[in-house]
Amino acid sequence: MKWIIDTDPGIDDASAIITAVNSGALDILGITCVHGNVGLEYTTRNALKLIELMDVGIPVYGGASRPILQKPEHASYVHGTDGFGNTFLSEPNIKLEPIHAVDFIIEAAYADDKLGLLTLGPLTNVALAIAKDRSLEDRIDRIVMMAGTSRARGNTSPVAEFNVFADPEAAAVVFDTGIPITMVPWETCLDTLLGPDTIRELRKSLTPVGQAFSNAMEFTLKGIEASMGQEFLVLCDLIAACVAIDPSVVKEKASVTVRVETCGRYSRGLTVIDERNIEGAEPNVTLCLACDREQIAGMFLNAINHQN
């Protein structure tokens, strides 16, 4: 299977990209960027810079700069105004590919190989690709995504997780396609924290990408330390990347139907989980309810210290 990583880097997106690329386990066709944690000008720049630092020559595409309906929603309080912990990476020498991310996704879906999407940001690019060419509903083989909540415990509204909250219409389009989705929800990420031992190892990393990442993570760590009095990292997107690389990291899962609330006054962006199959629909999601933190920390440390 070939993979496209759709992403809004983003500190945890960076950890996911580094691990997906340096694990060598995924055949990655390209990285498509989307608005999200910060604006597209920074998400594209960060993706290009990470690829340059790893020196791997994976093409990077620019995509949607805003959600389908609502105003852009950013998370610079978590990721810094540059999306990379206010470290303001220098201008990359490599450039964006000349075609739009949406067209690249469509082109890849028409190739003979099976196609998987690893989505780490708002789902605008994927929804637009499906809107442009509906046959993608059958041509995309699977999506592994960091998105949504399993217990309505939100991180952006009381009930909604950022990637869904930042473009609920796009998420609704994608969840309604019937493409098999493996979903890593916010609650699972919270239960898979990386603690002081991993942070210590990350600070020791000597590779160019390791040093860039550990500088950027200090911003997040400071915020967490100030509010929680402890140092730990919640690298949500990393968990989704590890699930795509090695499904054995998932320790508990459920097959469920998931819909996205787009109208609720208080619940817009909620992922509604039909746990007891009250709708009687064919489940569209494998929900990852618990993952192996040690395995994930190990995969990330190997990747960040990998010399290309």
Footprint on this chain of Ca ion (rule: CB under 5 A): 8, 10, 13, 120-121, 237
The pair of three-digit structure tokens given for residue 199, joined into one six-digit string: 């942070």
Binding site partner of 52, from Ca ion, ligand BDR, none, Cβ cut-off 5-8 A by kind: none
Q: Minimal distance in Å, beta carbon 186 to ligand BDR?
A: 5
CB of 160 closer than 8 Å to CB of 270:
yes
With CB under 5 to 8 Å by kind, the binding choice for 186 among ligand BDR, Ca ion, none is ligand BDR
Burial classification of residue 224, based on how many CB atoms lie within 10 Å of its CB (0-12 exposed, 13-18 middle, 19 or more buried): middle
Token duo for residue 10: 């983003």
Please check whether residue 181 is in contact with residue 283, taking contact to mean a CB–CB distance below 8 angstroms: no
Token output for 240:
């989704």
- Contacted entry of ligand BDR, Ca ion, none for residue 75, CB cut-off 5 to 8 Å set by kind: ligand BDR
Cα distances (Å, whole numbers) of residue 113 to 3, 17, 61, 100, 201:
10, 21, 20, 21, 38
Binding residues for ligand BDR restricted to 248-267, rule: CB under 6 A: none
Ramachandran category for residue 152: left, alpha or beta (phi over 0 → left; psi -120 to 50 → alpha): left
Measured between its terminal Cα atoms, the distance across the chain in Å is: 23
* Least distance from ligand BDR to the Cβ atom of residue 292, Å: 19
Judged by CB under 6 A, does residue 12 bind ligand BDR? yes
Within positions 161 to 180, which residues make up the interface with ligand BDR, using CB under 6 A?
161-163
Q: How far is the CB of 220 from Ca ion (least distance, A)?
A: 13
Nearer to ligand BDR, 137 or 169 (CB): 169
The nearest distance, CB 304 to ligand BDR, in angstroms, is 17
- Window of 25-33, 157-165, 218-226, 271-279 that interacts with ligand BDR by CB under 6 A: 157-165
84 touching ligand BDR, by CB under 6 A: no
- What is the C-alpha to C-alpha distance for residues 299 and 240, in angstroms, rounded to an integer? 12
Tokens of 61: 């595409």
- List the single partner that 78 binds among ligand BDR, Ca ion, none, CB under 5 to 8 Å by kind: ligand BDR
Q: Nearest approach, Cβ of 78 to ligand BDR (angstroms)?
A: 5
Distance CA 197, CA 200 (A): 5
Region binding ligand BDR by CB under 6 A among candidate stretches 24-32, 40-48, 102-110, 159-167? 159-167
Residue numbers 111-140 binding ligand BDR by CB under 6 A: 120-121
Q: Which SS3 state, helix, strand or coil, does residue 73 take?
A: coil
* Beta carbons within 8 Å of 278's beta carbon, 6+ residues apart: none
Nearer to ligand BDR, 122 or 139 (CB): 122
How are beta strands 271-274 and 250-260 bridged, if at all?
antiparallel
- Look-up of token digits 């993570």: 217
Which of 22, 155, 207, 284 touches ligand BDR by CB under 6 A? 155
Applying CB under 6 A, which residues contact ligand BDR? Answer: 10, 12-13, 37, 75, 78, 120-121, 146, 155, 161-163, 186, 236-237
